[in-house]
Every structure is written in C-alpha cells, then in structure tokens.
Amino acid sequence: MAENMRDIKRRITSVQNIKQITKAMEMVAAAKLRRAQEKAESARPYTEKLREVIASVAVATDGVQHPMLVSRPVKKTGYLVITSDRGLAGGFDGNVLRTLVQTVDKRHASKDEYVVFVMGRKGRDFLKRRGIPVIGEVTGLPDSPEFSDIKSVVSEAVGMYAEEEYDELFLVYNEFINPVTQRPVEKRLLPLADLEEEESASGLKALYEYEPSAEEVLSALLPRYAETLIYSALLESKASEFGARMAAMGNATDNASEMIGAYTLQYNRARQAAITQELAEIVGGASALE
C-alpha cells in the first residue's frame, strides 16, 4: 500500500510539472498572438489599396492582356502550402495538410500534374514522407517574419507561373478568424483573372498617369501584388498558429488539472485505506493481548 501511495504521489508531482510548462506556453502563445494579429491586420489595407491600383491599371491598359491576368488551359497546377515549424498546436498543421491532400487526390490523376511549394518544417516533412513533389521550401521562419525571409520561394513560385511552368497557382493555409478559430482554406492566387471585373463592379473611377506606360507599370506591379498576397497569407497563418497553440496549451492545462484532481482523490482513498488497515491491526493486536 505504501508503495502504491508513493507511485501516486510521483504521478501527481509529474503532472504538476507538466501543468506549469503548458500554462507558461499558453501565456507565451497569447503574447505572440497579439503581435501576430496586429501585424496581419496592418498588412490588409496595403494589400487592398494595391489591388485597387492594379485593377485601375488593368482597365486603363484598354484590352492589353498580361499573362498573369489571363486564364489558360490547365495542364499543370502549383500549390503553395503554409505550415508551422513546431508542433504542440493541436490540429493546426493536420487540418491544412489534410485539405491539401484531399484537394490533389480529387483534382489530379497523377503526381505529374502538380507541384508543391511549402513553408514550414512540419509541412515539408509530411509531404516528403508521402512522396509528394516538393520543388521549393523555406523553414525556420521567425515568429514575426519579414518578406525577405520568404522572398526566394515566393519569387520562384510566381516566376514559374509567369514562365508557364504551370497554369494556375493555389494558396493553402489556415485563415485567421479569431483567437480560437482557424479555418483551412484553398485560394487561387494566379491567374488574377477577376481584377478587371471587380474594378468595373466597384464603380471606382480613380485616374492615374503612367510613366512610361500603363502596360509596363502593370507588368511591374502584378508580380509584386502576387507576392504581397502570399506574404499576407503567411501573416494570417502565423496568427492562426499562435491561436491554435494557445488553445491547445489551454486544453492541456485543463486536462492536467483534472488529472491532478483524480490522482489526489486516488491518493486520499489509498491513504484512508492504509490508516483503516493500521487501526484494524492495532485493535486486533490489543484484543489478542487481553
């Protein structure tokens, strides 16, 4: 009985130590979430304004079609998936990778029909284990990434579309809804075929003067806009990651509290049983001496 009580006591101590760790990780994730959310929200106005300017330029080109604005027959597809470098974030990575796998299984008959770019160690390791063709990767991103951290893979993804290595490019990532809700989404990034329609529907009539020409300005802006969309998706994903990690560590802390309560009850029952047994032995010994 004494040995059993010592085991229970060790389990209580072990779970208490784990609880302290998960509580600290929850607080750290909450602090990082606030900074990541602010950064993601601050990037949105820039992206929207750039989209508005490009839409106006596209209309002003008066029928000139840029390759990044034109839909073409799809022979090959590119995907850029954004995951995390570390675990302990609940279903954050699993949900977005499941979305990617389900999409390619449904859309493509063979692995020759698509290629994948990946951000994050978790996604890279998962895709390589499954034999999915990864042609570009970036790992070890900081908690507050800058565009320079992903410029190489982003420029490659956009450049390969412009060179017609594939005919459409999709983003797969976790969209940030609120600190406790992240939604895996798949969004078509290229071609940007709906810009002119949105400009006409919005009724925006801003006038711009172009130097040297609207066509050349459009050619310079469109790759930058596509790269900006990818960077904005990365910021959304980072905010989602910290929200998921905060929720996962909060749940782990609550589970640890429940386990401590259960072990404490078990310990008290064992202790009560030991005391009862000792009293019974004392009473039995006293009776034998009479």
The pLDDT tens digits of the residues spanning 201-231 come to 555 555 667 777 777 877 888 888 888 999 9
Q: How big is the chain by its Cα radius of gyration, in Å?
A: 28
Q: What is the pLDDT of residue 59?
A: 66
Predicted local distance difference test score (pLDDT) of residue 212: 72
Give yes or no for residue 118 having a pLDDT over 90: yes
Q: Do residues 46 and 228 make contact, with C-beta atoms less than 8 angstroms apart?
A: yes
Instruction: Report pLDDT for 117.
Output: 95
More confident residue, 264 or 2: 264
pLDDT attached to residue 272: 84
Mean pLDDT taken over the chain = 85
DSSP letters for 231-289: HHHHHHHHHHHHHHHHHHHHHHHHHHHHHHHHHHHHHHHHHHHHHHHHHHHHHHHHHHH
Q: Label the pairing between strands 134-138 and 168-178.
A: unpaired
Q: Is the pLDDT of residue 24 over 90?
A: yes
What is the pLDDT at residue 180? Answer: 84
Q: Where is mean pLDDT largest: 66-75, 101-110, 210-219, 277-286?
A: 101-110
- Does the structure show a pLDDT above 60 at 200? no
pLDDT tens, 52-98?
Answer: 777 777 666 665 567 787 888 989 999 999 999 998 898 999 999 99
What pLDDT digit, counting tens, does each position of 25-58 carry?
999 999 999 999 888 888 888 888 888 777 777 6
E strand or H helix at 52: helix 2-60
pLDDT value of residue 195: 63
Which CATH superfamily includes the segment(s) 27-247?
A: ATP synthase, F1 complex, gamma subunit (3.40.1380.10)
The dihedrals phi and psi of 4, each to the nearest 5 degrees, come to -65, -40
- Does residue 277 have a pLDDT over 90? no
Percent of the chain with pLDDT over 70: 88
Q: What is the mean pLDDT of residues 157-171?
A: 91
Amino acid at 7: D
Whether 196 shows a pLDDT value over 60: the answer reads no
Give the least confident one: 38-42, 78-82, 134-138, 139-143. Answer: 38-42
